[in-house]
């Protein structure tokens, strides 16, 4: 491709609204343009990278036995009503009404559509298993679209759905997809981790997320320093290996704690460790009043609480609700004689006694609270966020935290959708069985953004060669010089004939300007044709990642270029 014929509007300045590096660089390098909030046009250069990424994904899925389909973007409401998600999904679902007053939505995901497809056509065990995927545009009316391609409203996703005869089959498929995902992210040249994850609104039995490690990631993951354990904070279990403490607990008594509505203030005042003060967090879970008790030095994790309660909706109680339920102002609620339906305590509270809690009375706390004796507990559960240095739940070594960008997610769905939508088949014995499903997503645009978050410097993007929009930039330093232009043309033809994806910068511009553009867009290899080199019989090449420059002999260019290219790919841990 000749740059003189290409559409590449680059920008010198950073776009004002871009908060993260990938957003800034995608816009500046002329890869995307914003149409409106969370909605982007992919320009030729951006689309090329997206397509290369999608191609690798498709190759690996095809290899794993998946088949490509393309489903509609507009989906009828009645399918979503069948699964109950028309109500459940909330405002991320963009709803539409057509001229016949029929309700539809723009697909944020395709479980309903694909389950409907399968239930109509699949009736026998002989037709199973089957695994279908698509690369398609999704719409989610995200509350806060941001970070460019990272969290948009309209975005390209690869979504796959598997259908198996039984749990064992579904687990095999899940493992195959896990392996296919691992190969995909390896081929993209990214530093990633697969982590145990919460299954969220889609539900189902278990799931893994694939995280690209990057400082700007929105997710924090806990990774064991010793074993392979890695999990999302929602899923990372906090374990407590301490033996049960034998301390005894005196009768509980109120103490006056004027104006002390934070843990720290109460701890200082009563000269206790914050750990000995129980925070009583009040929530409304599907209309029921719930209290969650956690140690004063820990953070409650709402996802863990929601999962324990099996709740669809979990809301922090309003100040009015707190006052009504605890009969005290905010900051003085406690579990003893608290009028809520369910009181659950974090497991860290199960080993000790003699706690300090709110007294359900303005300006008072209770001392010497024993949860077993004084509180009507529904039970203990793992409710708090794991902390760095907490023991790994698998091997007890210390965990550390990393920031990650979720680029892929795989779920074991079980019969969640096949049950509500009656997707069944007849097994070998002629018995009717529910199809066991799995679903598997990859955010294609987010993946390109994540690659940039992980690989860039002050000059621009440093693309892994497998997904760079062009693998090589061929830069003619001075196109006014007839000899330089003629040689550059010759090498352009040669590189093309070698099957190299090359962008020929044949513009009549200053060398500095051309180098800047090439560095900005992050082509992993640069081939530089200039008068000086020609005089010496060499062509200069530059590895964008390392910045290393070398000179390749002109008379043996093809072979020496292949050799150098091989080294560049190897430097990325990739096969060319
Ligand atoms: P998140 O927690 O980031 O909102 P999610 O759990 O809603 O993600 P899934 O429903 O599992 O995401 O979607 C599959 C993949 O699609 C995600 O792993 C992510 O890479 C991508 N994705 C999800 N939402 C967006 C978005 N708003 N913009 C771009 N990509 C997205
Ligand atoms: Mg989401």
Q: Is 159 in the pocket of ligand 1 (CB under 6 A)?
A: no
Give the mean pLDDT of 492-510: 97
Residue with CA nearest ligand 1 atom 28: 151
Ligand nearest to the CA of 218: 1
State which of 37, 233, 406, 412 you would mutate to test the pocket of ligand 1, scoring each by most atoms of that ligand within 8 A of its C-beta. Answer: 406
Residue minimizing CA distance to atom 16 of ligand 1? 443
Is 166 near ligand 1, meaning CB less than 6 Å away?
Answer: no
Cβ 439 under 6 angstroms from ligand 1: no
90 Cα to the center of ligand 1, angstroms: 16
Strand, helix or coil for residue 77: helix
Q: Regarding predicted confidence, which is higher, 154 or 394?
A: 154
pLDDT value of position 203: 45
User: 502 near 471, Cβ under 8 Å?
Assistant: yes
> 444 CA distance to ligand 1 centroid (A)?
10
Confidence of residue 199 (pLDDT cuts 50, 70, 90): low
Atom of ligand 1 nearest to the CA of 441: 14
Whole-prediction pTM: 0.85
Q: Is the pLDDT of residue 202 over 50?
A: no
Distance 183 CA to ligand 2 centre (A): 24
- pLDDT on residue 206: 79
CA 404 to ligand 2 centroid distance, Å: 15
Kindly state which CATH superfamily the domain 470-571 is placed in: Anticodon-binding domain (3.40.50.800)
pLDDT of residue 204: 45
* Closest residue to atom 2 of ligand 1, CA basis: 406
What is the pLDDT averaged over residues 543-562? Answer: 96
Task: Give the up-direction half-sphere exposure of residue 566: CA atoms within 13 A in the CB hemisphere.
Answer: 6
CATH architecture of 253-381: Alpha-Beta Complex (3.90)
Q: Which one, of 403, 467, 409, 53, lies nearest residue 210 by Cα?
A: 409
Task: Take atom 8 of ligand 1 and give the residue whose Cα is closest.
Answer: 406
Q: Please indicate whether residue 408, judged by its CB atom, sits closer than 6 Å to ligand 1.
A: yes
Q: Is the CB of 155 under 6 A from ligand 1?
A: yes
Residue 112 has pLDDT above 80, yes or no: yes
In this predicted structure, what is the pLDDT of residue 312? 87
**Does the beta carbon of 157 lie inside 6 Å of ligand 1?**
yes
Taking 70 as the threshold, does the pLDDT of residue 270 lie above it?
yes
For the chain, which residues make up each domain, given as ranges? 17-71+108-223+402-452, 253-381, 470-571
CA of 326 to the centre of ligand 1 (A): 39
Residue nearest to atom 23 of ligand 1 (CA): 443
Say how many Å lie between the CA of residue 292 and the centre of ligand 2.
26
Cα 480 from Cα 488, distance rounded (Å): 12
Percent residues over pLDDT 90 in the chain: 89
DSSP annotation string for 264-300: HHHHHHHT--GGGBEEEEEEEETTEEEEEEEETTS-B
Substitution candidate for ligand 1 out of 192, 198, 409, 453 with most atoms within 8 A of CB: 409
Q: What value does the mean pLDDT take over residues 538-546? A: 97
Instruction: Return contacts of 77-86, CB within 8 angstroms, 24+ apart.
Output: 77/102, 77/103, 77/104, 77/105, 79/112, 79/113, 79/116, 79/421, 80/105, 80/112, 82/112, 82/420, 82/421, 83/111, 83/112, 83/417, 83/420, 83/421, 84/420, 85/112, 85/201
- Say which residue, 19 or 471, is predicted with more confidence: 471
240 pLDDT higher than 90? no
Closest C-alpha to ligand 1, atom 12: 409
| C-alpha to C-alpha distance for 416 and 442, rounded to whole angstroms | 21
Residue 405 has which token pair? 């960008």
CATH number corresponding to 17-71+108-223+402-452: 3.30.930.10
Residue 200 banded pLDDT, cuts 50, 70, 90: low
Looking at residue 181, what is its pLDDT? 98
Position 235 scores a pLDDT of 82
Q: Is 32 helix (H, G, I), strand (E, B) or coil?
A: strand
Q: Is the CB of 407 under 6 A from ligand 1?
A: yes
Please give the share of the chain, as a percent, with pLDDT higher than 70: 99
């Amino acid at each position: 491709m000749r740059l003189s014929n290409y559409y590449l509007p680059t920008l010198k300045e950073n776009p004002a609204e871009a908060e993260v590096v990938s957003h800034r660089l995608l816009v500046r390098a002329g890869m995307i343009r914003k149409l409106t909030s969370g909605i982007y046009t992919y320009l030729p250069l951006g689309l090329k990278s997206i397509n290369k990424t999608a191609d690798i994904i498709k190759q690996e899925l095809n290899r794993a036995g998946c088949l490509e389909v393309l489903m509609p973007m507009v989906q009828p409401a009645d399918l979503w009503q069948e699964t109950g998600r028309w109500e459940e999904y909330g405002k991320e679902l963009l709803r539409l009404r057509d001229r016949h007053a029929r309700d539809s939505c723009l697909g944020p995901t395709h479980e309903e559509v694909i389950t409907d497809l399968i239930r109509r056509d699949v009736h026998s065990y002989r037709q199973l298993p089957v695994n279908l995927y698509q690369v398609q545009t999704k719409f989610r009316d995200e509350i806060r679209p941001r970070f460019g391609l990272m969290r948009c409203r309209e975005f390209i996703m690869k979504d796959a759905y598997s259908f198996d005869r039984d749990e064992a089959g579904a687990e095999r498929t899940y493992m195959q997809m896990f392996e296919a995902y691992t190969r995909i992210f390896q081929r993209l040249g990214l530093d990633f981790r697969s982590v145990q994850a919460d299954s969220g609104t889609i539900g189902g039995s278990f799931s893994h997320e694939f995280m690209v490690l990057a400082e700007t990631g929105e997710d924090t993951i806990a990774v064991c320093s010793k074993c392979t354990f890695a999990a999302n904070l929602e899923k990372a279990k906090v374990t407590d290996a301490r033996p049960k403490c034998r301390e005894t607990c005196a009768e509980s008594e109120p103490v006056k704690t004027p104006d002390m509505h934070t843990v720290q203030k109460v701890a200082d005042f009563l000269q206790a460790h914050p750990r000995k003060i129980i925070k009583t967090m009040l929530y409304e879970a599907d209309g029921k009043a719930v209290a969650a008790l956690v140690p004063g030095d820990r953070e409650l994790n709402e996802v863990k609480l929601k999962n324990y309660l099996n709740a669809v909706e979990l809301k922090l109680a309003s100040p009015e609700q707190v006052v009504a339920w605890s009969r005290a102002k905010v900051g003085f609620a406690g579990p003893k004689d608290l009028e809520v339906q369910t009181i659950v305590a974090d497991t860290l509270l199960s080993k000790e006694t003699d706690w300090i809690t709110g007294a359900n009375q303005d300006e008072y706390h209770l001392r010497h609270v024993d949860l077993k004796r004084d509180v009507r507990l529904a039970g203990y559960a793992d409710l708090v966020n794991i902390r760095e240095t907490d023991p790994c739940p698998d091997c007890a070594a210390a965990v550390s935290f990393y920031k990650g960008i979720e680029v892929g997610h795989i779920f074991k769905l079980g019969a969640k959708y096949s049950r509500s939508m009656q997707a069944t088949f007849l097994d070998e014995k002629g018995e009717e069985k529910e199809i066991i499903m799995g679903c598997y997503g990859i955010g294609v645009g987010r993946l390109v953004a994540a690659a940039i978050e992980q690989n860039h410097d002050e000059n621009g993007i440093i693309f892994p060669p497998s997904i760079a929009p062009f693998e090589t930039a061929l830069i003619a330093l001075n196109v006014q010089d007839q000899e330089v232009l003629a040689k550059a043309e010759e090498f352009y033809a040669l590189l093309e004939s070698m099957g190299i994806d090359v962008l020929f910068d044949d513009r009549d511009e200053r060398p500095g300007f051309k180098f800047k553009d090439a560095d900005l867009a992050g082509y992993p290899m640069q081939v530089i044709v200039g008068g000086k080199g020609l005089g010496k019989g060499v062509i200069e090449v530059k590895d964008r990642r390392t910045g290393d420059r070398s000179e390749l002999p002109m008379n043996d260019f093809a072979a020496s270029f292949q050799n150098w290219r091989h080294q560049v790919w190897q430097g990325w841990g990739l096969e060319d």
